[in-house]
Structure 1
Amino acid sequence: MFKNYIKIAWRNILRYKTNSVLNILGLTIGLVSVILIALYIQNELDYDTQFDAAAQVYRVNMKGKMGDNAFYAGYTPPPAGEALVDQFPEIESATRIYQPDNTQLAYESTAGSKVFNESEILAVDPNFLEVLSYPLQKGDAATCLQEPNSIVITPQIAKKYFGDANPMGKTLEYGEEKKPLKVTGVFEDLTSYPASVKFDILMPVTNFKDVTYFNWSWVWLNMATYVKLTPQASQNPASPAHLESRFPEMLKVQAAPAFERIGQPFEEFIKKGNYWELHLQALSDIHLYSQGITSSITEQHDVKNLYILGIIAFFIIILACVNFMNLSTVQAVKRSKEVGIRKVLGSQRKQLIKQFMAEVVCYTFCATLLAFITVLLILPLFNGLIGKELQVQAFFNGNLILLITGVVVLTTLLAGIYPAFFLTSFNPIRALKGKVGKTPQSGFIRNGLVVFQFSIAITLIICTLVVFSQLRYTQQKDLGFEHDQVLVINNAESLGNNLASFKKELIALAGVEAASSSSGMLTRGNFGDFYTPKPTADEPNIATDISLSSYLVDDAFIPTLDLEIVDGRGFDKRFKDSLSVILNETAAAQIGWENPIGKQIRYPGGNMEYYTVVGILKDFNLESLHTPIQPFALFAEESKSYDTRTTFISLKISGEHTRQVIGQVQDLWEAYVESNPFEYSFLDEDLAYAYQEDKRLASLFTVFTILAIFVACLGLFGLIAFTAQQRNKEIGVRKVLGANVSSIVKLLATNFLKLVMLSLILAAPVAWLAMDRWLQNFAYRIDIPIWAFLAAGALSLTIALCTVSFQAIKAAVANPVKSLRME
């Protein structure tokens, strides 16, 4: 019997070709959307779960406050890990990660030398691969990082330096001092490995003097620390919270000497309302649940984006099912007499339902098969859109197979139950008289489905427009500095004592308008530490402490980036500025100075020097607009206020002959620095990179919004066809009585355009609430624009009008004699 159902179902699919194509196309689009989004979400959820004993591993985060400045970061002081292992038996081991600034790596061979600047180098403790078990292709995880002169690399790095030769035992040279490092391990291909800590190269942290020097410090926050709990502790859900409750007592003892050394007695520091806390974060939570936690070492996304994409996938598959229902009502009119005859001849309703469900199964099977083929074909394009390397093997994930199977079954039921019961509910006498589907109840259901479809589509349109508006705002907002045509040269520290003469020759180049050097660069990070403002007789009630981010800069930095001095002056060669500082407006306001020029701050982290404020900078954004403006300072290069590991050169260049200018700069660089490759970027490109994740979300919104609109239009197309068939005789009579095509189109289209307007009214508040919440991720955001709602309404009306007009015109130009004869 089942075989017979399938045979008849297949015949009906072939008989009603147009209807079948639309049904299968709608379901295919819905399933493709679900599969792609499911692949993306599954990949995000897989982050950091594949490590051995992943449930035992936690990142140690630091939460601190000094004065008005608070932070939460995925960094700790160097001694934190060792102290935690010593003090708490629940902690089995700890490992640290340090992100070095020097990235030069070289390989010398008889065939010549290869020198590159590598951007993905991490320095780690010897037990790193025992805590975070990244898979090795060659080498032993327990021993490959034990020796200071060892290095572990990915296959891509091995290919880059050694070609097809076996890299094990070969020597790479690190940094300008060309420290020899022996390859002791090679990872498996980590390109698509879902881990929040990304790298190409690992080397022992003992190679870095900064870490060794600051092993005493509890205020130097430049290391990520991961701890591994004992199996017993990790099995107790209360263990992390219990451990955290005991951290403050440990910090009072361990951190006190370091705070005393910088002139900040720890107990007095806490009594002022400040805090200095350690917290544990589960390894599996780092990638998606780190909002507000700063870290440049880990890849951190927002779990809310997964919820958004999941909701979009859900609604698109629902749209596809609704579309199927609408198209089935069109088919119902054509098949009503078939149903009536079957019933008259003795067919039971149960048999008819099985027959129609068999047709739905055939539709769903075809759609599922096409969906998988489509996903395989477009997966490379989708990977480019989301910036990932999703593999075909991901299809064989058990959870994913279960999810997709569930979606297919649910789609079959949702898409099939209503049409099956609708088609088999016909009174055989009414069906044979052609009076099917003309009740008010059936019309209400069909109109409701149209409203539902377009409400979803319009919501997605509004959200997409708002997301792009925010991105445009981030690109157009005055950030307080010049970023167009600013060329940034990396690794300028390799110039050493030749920095000044190199800058002098740069300025002499045609097309270079200004050149400056600095220890940091916008969006590239900065140095941060605590400072103590010096009270004065006229302003005694000022902040006792302040945390400042800062750069060491030359006297050309401010004019090169066109920063605005609102009070005082910038650095000037005519003055001795080695003990001068320039603050931004936020820093001066937090300290509480009304007249800051001439006031002083002390740097406990250095040699207790006092720096005199010589200027106030107008506030500008150091980072993306996701983060608010923080207290910031500029110190003169010659102050040597703190040790710098990096130097950047910023060039303001003219808009003409940009490539020629870059070529000249490169030639000059190579004349000065033979061993270090020339690397540069444009500042506006660096700023754009800060919004990469937002742009990907906007692109996904756009793609799936287009798909949702298309599916909604398929349903509308079917419904207008259904209406045209129902009013076939009326249209014929009107044409005989002299009605023209435009009046008939208006007759058929008006009701549907009203439904679209109702959809806009329902969609607007939902879209507003969703976007208001999303915009809270930005410290500087747009007001949700009214034009987005108007544009969404106009676009949806236009799309609906085009869809409706196609069928309406087709009905209006039909020969009335044929329609009247059919009646």
Structure 2
Amino acid sequence: MWLNYFKTASRSLLRQRGYTLINVSGLSVGFAAFILIFLFVRREVSFDRHIEKHQRIFRVVEIQNEPGVGEQHVAITMGPLADALKRDFPQITAVMRLMNAWNYSNVSINDQVFRENNMYYADPSIIGMYGIELLSGNPQKVLEDPHSVLLSESVAEKFFGSVEGASGKSLQLGGQSFRVSGVMKDLPETSHLFFNILIPFSVVEKNPDFEWLKGWGSNSLITYVELDNPASAQEINDQLDDFLQRHVMADGKTWQYLEMYLQPMDEIYLHSGHIKFQDVTHSGNAEIIVIFIAVAFLILLIACVNFVNISIARSVKRFREVGMRKVLGAGRQSLIFQFISESAIVTFISVIISLGLIQLVLPEMNTLLGTDFALKSVFTPGFSLSLGILFIIISLISGAYPAFYLSGLQPVDVFRGLPGARRGRSALLSKLLVTFQFTISIALIFCVIVISRQINFIRHKDLGINYEDALFVRLERDNTFKMNTLKTILLSNPEILSVAASTNINGVAGNQGPAFVDDSAHTKIYVRYGYVDPVFFDAMKIPVIAGNNFDPSLSNYQGVIINEAAARSLGWDQPIGKRFRFEMEDTVRIAPVIGVVKDYHYYSLRSPIEPALWAWIPEELSGVVIKYRHPENPDKKENLMKFIENSVKSVFPSTPYTSTEGTTFALNSYQSDEVTYKLFIYFAAISLFLSCLGLFGITSLLIEQRTKVIGIRRVMGASVKQMAAWLIKDYLLLVLLAGALALPLGYYIMSMQLESFAYRIQFSSFYFILPVATGLVIAFGSIVAKIWQAARVNPVEALKYE
């Protein structure tokens, strides 16, 4: 019986090769897009799930709500916090502290020097809490000895050639000798934290330079806690206000504006966009994931709509076939199986072809997203089961309406002619489905246009700082003599315009801390700290609008320069001469304001410009910003870059050379937006392709059904243009209706997306007109040839069989 269904269904599909090809093409593309999106979504939601205890591990987050600063969530916490939490809450079974080892950057092994990022001080409990797998070393002891370090597998191979060759070997960090106590397996890429080297936290505790970490005002490390039960998190959250009263207030700190809560580890990757100062290498966006999931289902739904629509249109031509089958004794159940079989065959072929499309597209997708997906990812047990269920659902959805609709016809109605009401219902359903398809397509076009304009706005907005033709080179700290020697060598090249010393190319170090007004014990603002020399502001085209720049003739500590945002936060109309009191590590400094610079965007346009404070302290300067003439050609730039690299190596031979282009730094913050933009282009293109494919198919079928009407109209004198206008009018009206539905949807989605930017475009009529016009043009282009051909039909050919 099943073989008969298969044979009959196959013959039926082959008789209508053109429409079968349209259905297979649409479903193949729809399946491929759906599977690719869900490969990405599955990766995004799987972060930290490889950790056995992930449901019981939480990160402590502070809410700071200082007057004049506003509420901000921060992931850095106080030094004594972990031990106090462990003592006060029996629900906490383990604590873990992590702190970026910012004071180490170079790793020396014999005569070789490596620059290594992602080094952390960590408690021994990290091994068990974070699920670290050791390839060598004792889990109980690898982070006990303050003179030991734990290396990742890739770093061990880089330093020593192999994992086995690393164990027990020595290396130098900041002039101190450490022994490699173990090697850990590289963390999966689905980890929100990523570290190459772990240093025992006891190194910090025994170092007098870190004495300040013992106070409750030292927000510098990340604290994780492991609970006996995930439900205990709410109990602890309810008691954290009392906890802060007992400890922070008792320590003499007036942090009455401080709150805390526990953030589940499962939420850190996707739900931390509002949290500042996170030492995370990976972060995602939950809103984008939701949009991608919706788009995946909508694209697949559009492909199914094509199938259903064409099946409905074809059903009119199969009335007599159904009537004859019923006369010959076919029951309704057998007819339903027949049509579902046709749907299943088309769906199965589409799934197979989609796997081939995925194999073709995966390299491009991996390049775009920075992933390493392979086709075998589709064939995991869970994903294969999901794909099988999806195959059954699509087969049923795509074949259900035609199956139940046609099988319900009575032979007497078929041979007498289908009642007009049924024809009308079929036509109305087809129009609704076409409208749905173009609604989604136009909404996606709207999103593409808005994202592209926002990215264009970002690229061309005046940031208040000139990153063009600028290069930042990281150097050793606290080496003023070498720094001046390097400046002299670099400036001997006429292509180099200026060399400024700074902590970073944007002039700020990245850390934020409180700065008190000197004549008040309580008036303070949180500022971004930066260390620059007198050349920096001029080199980067940042104007000093009040007071003076640092005086190059005075090498001692002179005072500070602030930005307009800092002056506004304190309500200072005349800030020059005002005095700040602030703490840099363990040193309290009191300094007058000697100048004010115009506000500039030192970070992403997602955030408003925050108060900033700059000092000229030569021993804190850890790099140079080199401004050069715009090269006439790539070869000239390459030669200049080689000169800079050779010059740096000649003065700092033990420092690995690392550099950052100014424009690269400026655009790095928007890489995720560029990826989102490209993905939306692909989504819109796929959606439009599927919509137009379906529109072409249904137009072809409806023209076949109207052959008699077309012939009569031509006999009655209708011109080719009149016929074309009559045939195309309904479809263009449907696209206009789709536009009216799509634009509010697109506006809502993009308004939410743009809220993440403090500086963003304003919507104009252009954003609403262009998507609808694009939809009309593409829809018209997809069917105009078929309609023109139908409008020019010879009336004799159209009516000779009537």
Same fold by TM-score, threshold 0.5 exceeded? yes
Greater alpha carbon shift after TM alignment, 677-686 vs 167-176? 167-176
Which residue is 1:559 aligned to? 538
Q: Which residue of 1 aligns with 2:432?
A: 448
Could you tell me which residue of structure 2 aligns to residue 674 of structure 1? 653
Aligned residue for 1:468, secondary structure, equals helix
Say if 1:13 and 1:142 are closer, same or farther in 2 by CA, change over 3 A. Answer: farther
Alpha carbons of structure 1 residues 610 and 203: separation in structure 2 relative to 1, 3 Å? closer
* Residues 522-571 of structure 1 deviation map (CA, whole Å, 9 limit, x = unaligned): 39752322122134xxxx9x971111111111001111111122222211
Give the Å deviation of 1:388: 2.2
Structure-2 residue corresponding to 1:266: 253
Residue type of the partner of 1:57? I
Q: CA–CA distance in 2 between the matches of 1:88 and 1:435?
A: 76
Residue in structure 1 matched with residue 95 of structure 2 by the alignment: 94
What CA deviation, in whole Å up to 9, does each residue of 1:253-284 have, x standing for no partner?
Answer: 433576xxxxxx424x52xxxx1233211111
Change (3 A) 1:431 1:460: same
Q: Does 1:782 align with 2:761?
A: yes
Structure 1 residues 599, 681: closer, same or farther in 2, change over 3 A? Answer: same
Contact 1:176 1:494 in 2 (8 A): no
Q: Distance in 1 between matches of 2:146 and 2:590?
A: 39
- Give the counterpart of 1:103 among 98, 102, 105: 105
Partner of 2:603: 623
With 484-493 and 240-249 compared, the bigger mean Cα shift is at 240-249
Letter in structure 1 aligned against 2:191: A
Partner of 2:395: 412
Q: Is the 8 A contact 1:745 1:808 kept in 2?
A: yes
Mapped pair 1:692 → 2:693 = no
Give the corresponding residue for 2:283. Answer: 300
Q: Identify the residue that residue 627 of structure 2 maps to in structure 1.
A: 652
Contact 1:532 1:601 in 2 (8 A): yes
Answer yes or no: is the 8 Å Cα contact 1:756–1:797 preserved in 2: yes
SS of 2:399 mapped into structure 1 = helix
**How far apart are 1:430 and its partner, in Å?**
5.7
Give 1:647's aligned amino acid. Answer: S
Aligned equivalents of 1:357, 1:586: Cα separation in 2 = 67
Structure-2 separation of matches of 1:140 and 1:322: 60
Q: Secondary structure at the match of 2:198?
A: strand
State the alpha-carbon separation in 1 of the partners of residues 714 and 404 from structure 2: 36
Q: How many residues align?
A: 791
Letter in 1 for 2:597: L
- Which amino acid counterpart does residue 199 of structure 1 have in structure 2? F
Out of 228, 241, 246, the residue aligned to residue 234 of structure 2 is: 241
CA distance in 2, matches of 1:740, 1:543: 86
Q: Does 1:214 align with 2:212?
A: yes
**Residue 330 of structure 1 contacts residue 721 of structure 1 at CA under 8 Å; is this kept in 2?**
no
Task: Tell me the CA shift for residue 672 of structure 1.
Answer: 0.6
1:284 has 2:266 as partner: yes
Alignment partner of 1:195 is 2:191? yes
Q: Which amino acid is 2:175 matched to?
A: E
Q: Structure 2 counterpart of 1:197, which letter? A: L
TM-score by length of 1: 0.90
- Which position in structure 2 is the counterpart of 1:756? 735
**Residue equivalent to 2:446:** 462
Whether the 8 Å CA contact 2:132–2:184 is kept in 1: the answer is no
Question: What are structure 2's unaligned runs of at least 5 residues?
Answer: none
| Superposition pairs of residues 51-70 of structure 1, within 5 angstroms | 51-69=51-69, 70=71
- Indicate conservation of the 8 Å contact 1:252/1:266, yes or no: no
2:508, 2:530 within 8 Å by CA — same for their partners in 1? no
The correspondence for 2:248, drawn from 250, 255, 280, is: 255
Classify the secondary structure of the residue corresponding to 2:164: coil
Change (3 A) 1:443 1:86: same
Question: Is the deviation greater in 705-714 or in 93-102?
Answer: 93-102
Partner of 1:167: helix, strand, or coil?
Answer: helix
8 Å Cα contact 2:120/2:195 also seen in 1: yes
Instruction: Give the TM-score taking structure 2 as reference length.
Output: 0.93
Aligned residue in 1 for 2:308: 325
In structure 2, the residue matched to 1:261 is none
Q: Which amino acid aligns with 2:674?
A: K
Q: 1:207 to 1:807 in 2, by over 3 A?
A: farther
Partners of 1:697 and 1:509 lie apart in 2 by 42
Structure 1 residues 684 and 245 mapped into 2: Cα distance closer, same or farther (>3 Å)? same
Cα shift at 1:492: 4.3
- Equivalent-residue separation in structure 2 for 1:2 and 1:40 (angstroms): 38
1:262 is aligned to none
Tell me the amino acid that sits aligned with residue 44 of structure 2.
E
Residue equivalent to 1:705: 684
Please say if residues 76 and 221 of structure 1, whose CA atoms lie closer than 8 Å, have aligned partners that are also in contact. Answer: yes
Instruction: Indicate how the Cα distance of structure 1 residues 576 and 649 shifts in structure 2: closer, same or farther if over 3 A, else same.
Output: closer
Q: Deviations over 1:178-220 (max 9, x none)?
A: 6344251130x53x53111123333333445588433313223
Deviations 1:363-392 (A, max 9, x none): 111122222343344333222222223355
* CA–CA separation in structure 1 for the residues paired with 2:592 and 2:552: 16
Runs of 4+ in 1 over 6 A off after TM superposition: none
Mapped pair 1:500 → 2:477: no
Q: Does 1:343 align with 2:326?
A: yes
Q: State yes or no: 1:614 paired with 2:594.
A: yes
- Superposition CA RMSD, Å: 2.6
SS in 2 for 1:266: coil
**Using the alignment, how far apart are the partners of 2:614 and 2:524 within structure 1?**
18
CA shift, 1:288, in A, is 1.3
Q: Deviations over 1:725-761 (max 9, x none)?
A: 1211233344556655444332221211111011101
Displacement after TM superposition at 1:393 (Å): 5.2
Q: Which residue of the other structure, out of 344, 349, 354, is the alignment partner of 2:337? A: 354
